[in-house]
Chain A
């Protein structure tokens, strides 16, 4: 079965760029049919969708984060990545990667999540 695993630094300094990668196993991003998203959860708070990418490279971002977000895909490595620039303490959160089951817009498979703290 398809599994997702996030990886990346757990600590990022303010004003720097947060970079995370999601590795997909048990299935190929290139097979199409699914969108691949990043979602975050601030400590003790609710869930916020960041953006998604399709295997072709087409993306769509949350308008509230769009100016700072870049999501990319590497089909040869079966990975997709998140870059969030100019981070502040408000970007401290657990970051999840997830698969979107179209056309329902439902996230049916999630990674375990990775905690990222923004601090000097």
Chain B
């Protein structure tokens, strides 16, 4: 099965840029989505098809994907962005999730 690797944690100060990476073999040849999950809540998609934002997702969320790494970037990170973030892709016949990154904003 296809593996996606994320750093377990990342800390940033409010107003800084947070970059969360997701790596996998030739990941740039696939499409990646990103989910935000706050404690006790269901995941919410914040980026799909590598770079697209669903309606209602703030512009400070952006995505990129090239080579073996996809990146979720949060510009001007706010305290409300503190959450777990998961990358996800489709590998021919199955869905794969990354292990998640806990973003702390302090």
Q: Do A and B come from one complex?
A: no
List residues of chain A with CB under 8 Å of any chain B CB. none
Interface residues of B, Cβ cutoff 8 Å to A: none
